[in-house]
Amino acid sequence: MKNFKYITFLLFSIVAFTLGSCKKETTEPTPPTDPFADLTYIGETQAVGAGAIVKIYAEEALFVGYNRIYVALYDSANPQTQLTDAHVTFNPMMDMGMMQHSCPFENPSTTVETNTKAFKGSVVFIMPTTATGSWMLNVKVHNHANGEHGMASLAINVVEKSEPKLITFISDFDNKKLFVTLIEPTEPKVGINNITFGIYEKQSMMDFPAVDGYMMEMEPEMPSMGHGSPNNVNPVSKGNGLYTGAVNFTMTGYWKINLDFKTINGDTIKLDQFFDVTFQ
Amino acid sequence: MKNLIQITIIVTVGMFLHSYGYTQEHTAKVIINDSLKNAIDLEGVVIIGDSTSAKTEDFKPVEGQRTDEIIEDLQGVNIIRRGNYAAEPTFRGMSSGQLSMTIDGMKIFGACTDKMDPVSSYVSSNNLESITVSSNNNNACQGSNIGGGFDFQTKQAQFSSHKEISGSAGIGYQTNGNGRLADFNLNYGDSAWALNLNANYQKFDNYKAGGGQTIKYTQFEKVNFALSSSWMPSNTQIFKAQFIYDDAYNVGYPALPMDVSFAGGRIYSLSYKKYLPNSTLFLKAYGNNITHIMDDTKREFVPMHMDMPGKSDTYGAFAKSEFNIGEKHHILINPDYYYNVSFADMKMYPNDPNRPEEPVMYMITWPDVRRHSGSLMIQDRFTINPQTELKYSGKIEYVTSKVFSEFGIQQLEVIGKDGTIPSTYILGNGNAILTYQLNHSTQLFGQLGYAERQPTVSEGFGYYLYNSMDGFDYIGIPDLKKETALKSSIGLNWKKNKTVLETKIYHYQFQDYIIGIIDSTYDGMTIGSNGVKVYENIPSASISGFEVKVHTTLFKTIRFQNQTQFTYGVDHESNPLQMIPPLQNSSKLGYSYKQIKFQLEAVVAAMQNNPRLDAGETTTPSYGIVNISGHAPIKLLQQPTSISIAVNNLFDSNYWDHLDWNSVPRPGRSFIVNLRMRF
């Protein structure tokens, strides 16, 4: 009889537990969120002549390295109306008094992003804002709504990250000045990480085209323990100066990603370059 | 707080629940009968305890021995020493995942990724009633395994026909290592209730090897409490509750780069046994929580400070029912379920003065692996005729393990494995032993079995686990195949007058034997490591050997026992397997007069010149040691008291066994004195 009670109790507990865990999942309507909530607001200005307000967003405060830039256009006459039919081009400029130079960049595509309805491009800043040099992000807008052209110039601040995302060297092969930026992973984790680099060359003070077709050899290393990691995939050229591969981190902490650059024929461009990646 | 609750629950429940002390006697007797008289399962042997003439206590009259010292004495058993504490038992060259280790039938899995906390470390020697070593993997309550296993039976609360309090208290001292030991046992029993409290304390400093060299990091301190209570509401049923609390502090491991600051076990159970006409039913539910914290803060020279805590929680329940079918069949049915969660991680503290901002490095070495296992075992003891008995059994187990740590799943990506898929195994085990009584003094037996086991958590999911013996980091592979073995043994037992001869030959033929193989595509993680080994199934391996034991009594007062064991193991390429003990022989000469006992023991091990080189083994020289001990009753404070005196390693030999990691010498000569009062 006692056993019967126990069994009954046990059955009840199981039933109660099962019912408890079968609670229906209610799907509440999600309130509309600001599409720019995840982005960092950089600044805004008028594109004089195009009848547009230019608002600039980025994924984080602008830094030396590869920055994704979002350009949102609004009608000057009716600032609530976002303009989605336009052509936007960049011309970032560093003014150092005696001289000026630009940096590598990729103009936004002609169509807007679905979520933000902004034009997305990228700029690789090659030096930080300093006391003697300041960056200006020039954005040329061709507003298809009214057919007008205009230019917006926004003074911006570019910082150097504590862990640099850009390295610069002279090619041993052809003496070109090259810029290599670590684009991904932005949030490194233990496990497999997609890794993306951008390679650009300096042809003139104003011209920094992307370089494709190089070979990269990558070897991650944990300097304080002297070990690497298995199953990494060397980045390969994907066009537009981008190189993608995979890097494995076996644990959290400070990693050094060692890189060798070679031409397609195996001639050495530069050896023993590296990026530091620290995460917890 | 959690512990306190556990204690409270156990104590409260213990007040009206009950141990199977009485039952325990039965089981023990059964095994003794089986092994020594009827020889039903010659592979199962019971040692220590009291009352029977064949028990080890008569042969080793020293009190205050440690559990691993007792284990090492068993036939077929060797221990792997990494320090002076909690040596890991092996049986016929098989260890860890190939053996099952249980306490009173409860499955317990160590929380140390380096196997530094074998289950035996959670039972103190004075709480140990008996040890069953069985080569039969179908032995009740053992998980699927290849080599059988150890079950450590703890002391049970004893009933008494009238209200009775009894107990003992002992103190001991060992000169080598400044060892201080104290133990205490208290039993209350009446005809329906019984309660037993057992306590044990040990503290050792660094010991000196033979010749006088101090072996650093061999200290330890340990405390163990065990509470067992029994309630017998009627003659046919017994309830029992038990709780074991074990803490070890500051345990040194000279063979490893790290020590253990804390190791703790909390083990608890409730059980019920019912006697029915012609059958018995036994139910048990249990749980245990094991914590193991490794660190190197006490080491002088470390390239980098590290912490490696581990945790293993197991909960399970099983039932055993025994009944007869007709005159000739005795059936045992044993369904079993357990659930284990293993988690271990590692923090590494960088110390580059040029990079003070460098963060702590972190990884998970056991990625929250949760394992469910359900099994059913059925055994029939079939008396074919008065001379012949066949015991056969079959077991089927379903076991599934899954990684629950997201971080751990990401780590598995690194080695190209998908941690979201559970590792599932269906394991079948079968065994048959035929015993034939040739004539009054001679008995023959033959055993044939098939066994399968799943990989251990380390073999399946371990992540860069450093093995300081071979200097490699080990990586587990979640989709390893199960290891299987065909096992066979034959034996002959001969008994005439007071002389007993037991011999057996055994052979294990493995398939898909699990072993670490060097993989040079991986980089060693540990500073100074030799590289990485990945667990793999090698096509085959084999272990074979023999055991011979002679026991005789001369002039009623002198006893002699000689025991020889030999194991030989090779892999599919005829390379020696690792951790295979050499030829060993031990002799004991005992003299007893009234209650005074004296014993001389000599242990000899041959050289092991078949080391597995890629496992970091080297040739181990032969050694021989002599131990002497004596035991005498005295009267102290009107209480029966006994004194034991012993000298271990009488000639102060500097030696180590082949299974001792990194050839760390064992203790040199030690004088031991132990005083025990009974009341």
Nearest C-alpha of chain A: how many angstroms from B279?
A: 19
pLDDT of the residue at A117 = 92
Residue B473, beta-bridge partner list: B466, B532
How does pLDDT run across A182-230, given as a tens digit for each residue? 999 999 999 999 999 999 999 999 999 999 999 999 999 999 888 999 9
At B122 the three-state DSSP class reads helix
- Say which of B350, B412, B416 has its CB closest to residue A254: B350
pLDDT of the residue at A27 = 54
- Tell me, yes or no, whether A4 lies in a domain: no
List chain B residues with CB under 8 Å of A253.
348, 350, 358-362
- B561-567 long-range Cβ contacts below 8 angstroms, 24+ apart: B561/B59, B561/B587, B561/B588, B561/B590, B562/B586, B562/B587, B562/B588, B563/B75, B563/B587, B565/B75, B565/B76, B567/B92, B567/B93, B567/B543
Amino acid letter, B152: F
Residue B85 half-sphere exposure toward CB, CA atoms < 13 A: 33
In which band, very low, low, confident or very high, does the pLDDT at B63 lie, cut at 50, 70 and 90? low
Please give the structure tokens belonging to residue B85: 């504490």
Nearest C-alpha of chain B: how many angstroms from A191?
A: 4
Read off the DSSP letter of residue A109. Answer: P
CA–CA dist B400, B454 (Å, integer): 9
Q: Is the same domain home to A268 and A176?
A: yes
Sign of CA dihedral B130, B133, B138, B144: positive
pLDDT over 90 (residue B136): no
Q: Is the same domain home to A150 and A175?
A: no
Interface of A with B in 237-276 (CB under 8 A): 248-254
At B34 the three-state DSSP class reads helix
CB B464, CB B531: distance < 8 Å: no
List chain B residues with CB under 8 Å of A250.
363, 411, 414, 463-464, 525
Interchain pair A227, B523: CB under 8 A: yes
Q: Is the same domain home to A147 and A208?
A: no
List chain B residues with CB under 8 Å of A278.
358-359
SS (H, E, C) B532-545: EEEEEEEEEEEEEE
Please give the structure tokens belonging to residue A34: 């600001």
pLDDT of the residue at B51 = 21
Strands B442-453 and A215-221 come out as: unpaired
SS (H, E, C) B436-466: EECCCCEEEEEEEEEEEECCCHHHHHCCCEE
- Tell me, yes or no, whether A15 lies in a domain: no
pLDDT of the residue at B53 = 24
In which band, very low, low, confident or very high, does the pLDDT at B285 lie, cut at 50, 70 and 90? very high
E strand residue ranges, B326-441: 329-349, 361-385, 388-403, 423-437
Task: Report yes or no: A43 at the B interface, CB cutoff 8 Å.
Answer: no
Interchain pair B414, A228: CB under 8 A: no
In which band, very low, low, confident or very high, does the pLDDT at B96 lie, cut at 50, 70 and 90? confident
How does pLDDT run across B581-622, given as a tens digit for each residue? 999 999 999 898 888 888 899 999 999 999 999 888 999 999
Bond into A185 cis (ω within 30): yes
Amino acid letter, A30: T
Largest CA distance in chain A: 99
Chain A interface test: which of B414, B477, B521 (most A C-beta within 10 Å): B414
Token match 């206590």: residue? B57
Q: What is the CATH number of the domain that holds A56?
A: 2.60.40
Interface of B with A in 376-415 (CB under 8 A): 407, 409-415
Nearest C-alpha of chain B: how many angstroms from A7?
A: 15
More confident residue, A49 or B565: B565
CB A10, CB A2: distance < 8 Å: no
Largest CA distance in chain B: 82
- Tell me, yes or no, whether A272 lies in a domain: yes
The nearest alpha carbon in chain B to A253 belongs to B361
| Cα B112-B118-B121 angle, rounded to 5 deg | 115
List chain B residues with CB under 8 Å of A248.
413-414
List chain B residues with CB under 8 Å of A227.
523-525
pLDDT of the residue at B17 = 30
Residue B261 half-sphere exposure toward CB, CA atoms < 13 A: 12
| Cα B312-B316-B318 angle, rounded to 5 deg | 150
How does pLDDT run across B391-424, given as a tens digit for each residue? 899 999 999 999 999 999 999 999 889 999 999 9
Whole-number Cα distances in Å, A140 to A44, B123, B311, B405: 14, 80, 61, 49
- Tell me, yes or no, whether A9 lies in a domain: no
- Tell me, yes or no, whether A77 lies in a domain: yes
Q: Is the same domain home to A139 and A187?
A: no
Q: What is the CATH number of the domain that holds A271?
A: 2.60.40.10
Where would I find the H helices in B54-117?
56-59, 67-72
CB B561, CB B588: distance < 8 Å: yes
Interchain pair B363, A251: CB under 8 A: yes
Q: Is the same domain home to A111 and A196?
A: no
CB B294, CB B112: distance < 8 Å: yes
Range of the structural domain that residue A248 is part of: 166-279
Interchain pair B525, A191: CB under 8 A: no
CB B53, CB B267: distance < 8 Å: no
pLDDT over 80 (residue B486): yes
List chain B residues with CB under 8 Å of A229.
414, 523
Task: Provide the ipTM.
Answer: 0.80
Helix H or strand E encompassing B243:
strand B237-251
CB B677, CB B640: distance < 8 Å: yes
The count of other CB atoms within 10 Å of the CB of residue A106 is 20
pLDDT over 80 (residue B45): no
| Cα B465-B467-B469 angle, rounded to 5 deg | 180
- Tell me, yes or no, whether A93 lies in a domain: yes
Please give the radius of gyration of chain B, using alpha carbons only, rounded to the nearest integer: 24
Residue B569, beta-bridge partner list: B543
Task: Report yes or no: B223 at the A interface, CB cutoff 8 Å.
Answer: no
Give burial (CB, 10 Å; 0-12/13-18/19+) of A71.
buried
- Say which of B350, B409, B521 has its CB closest to residue A253: B350
Interface of A with B in 215-234 (CB under 8 A): 222-231
The nearest alpha carbon in chain B to A227 belongs to B525
Q: Would you give per-residue pLDDT tens digits along chain A (280 residues)? A: 445 555 554 555 455 444 444 444 455 566 667 888 889 999 999 988 888 999 999 999 999 999 999 999 999 888 888 988 999 999 999 998 888 999 999 999 888 888 889 999 999 999 999 988 999 999 999 988 888 899 999 999 999 999 999 999 999 999 999 999 999 999 999 999 999 999 999 999 999 999 999 999 999 999 988 899 999 999 999 999 999 999 999 999 999 999 999 999 999 999 999 999 999 9
CB B90, CB B569: distance < 8 Å: no
CA–CA dist B350, B361 (Å, integer): 7
Read off the DSSP letter of residue B36. Answer: I
Chain B interface test: which of A187, A219, A225 (most B C-beta within 10 Å): A225
In which band, very low, low, confident or very high, does the pLDDT at B2 lie, cut at 50, 70 and 90? very low
CA–CA dist B159, B170 (Å, integer): 23
Q: Is the same domain home to A152 and A201?
A: no
pLDDT of the residue at A246 = 96
pLDDT over 70 (residue B85): yes
- Tell me, yes or no, whether A95 lies in a domain: yes
- Mean pLDDT value of segment B248-254: 94
Interchain pair B360, A191: CB under 8 A: no
- Say which of A229, A252, A254 has its CB closest to residue B414: A229
CA–CA dist B594, B302 (Å, integer): 56
In which band, very low, low, confident or very high, does the pLDDT at B278 lie, cut at 50, 70 and 90? confident
Chain mean pLDDT for chain B:
86
The count of other CB atoms within 10 Å of the CB of residue B656 is 20
| Cα B513-B514-B518 angle, rounded to 5 deg | 120
Percent with pLDDT over 70 in chain B: 89
CA–CA dist A103, B442 (Å, integer): 96
CB B87, CB B161: distance < 8 Å: no
Interacting residues of B3 by C-beta distance below 8 A, sequence separation 6+: B245, B266
Sign of CA dihedral B457, B460, B464, B469: positive
Residue A254 half-sphere exposure toward CB, CA atoms < 13 A: 20
Domain-terminating residue out of A133, A156, A179: A156
CB B371, CB B403: distance < 8 Å: no
Q: How many domains does chain A have?
A: 2
- Say which of A189, A226, A252 has its CB closest to residue B361: A252
Whole-number Cα distances in Å, B416 to A17, A228, B475: 38, 16, 12
- Look at the domain B2-678 and name its fold: Maltoporin; Chain A (2.40.170)
pLDDT over 90 (residue B25): no
Q: Is the same domain home to A149 and A57?
A: yes
CA–CA dist B512, B514 (Å, integer): 6
- Mean pLDDT value of segment B546-568: 90
Interchain pair B525, A230: CB under 8 A: no
How does pLDDT run across B310-365, given as a tens digit for each residue? 999 999 999 999 999 988 999 999 999 999 999 999 999 998 888 888 999 999 99
Residue A237, beta-bridge partner list: A243
pLDDT over 50 (residue B295): yes
- Tell me, yes or no, whether A222 lies in a domain: yes
CB A116, CB A39: distance < 8 Å: yes
Helix H or strand E encompassing A2:
helix A2-21
pLDDT of the residue at B81 = 92
- Say which of B362, B416, B463 has its CB closest to residue A253: B362
Q: Is the same domain home to A140 and A176?
A: no
In which band, very low, low, confident or very high, does the pLDDT at B481 lie, cut at 50, 70 and 90? very high
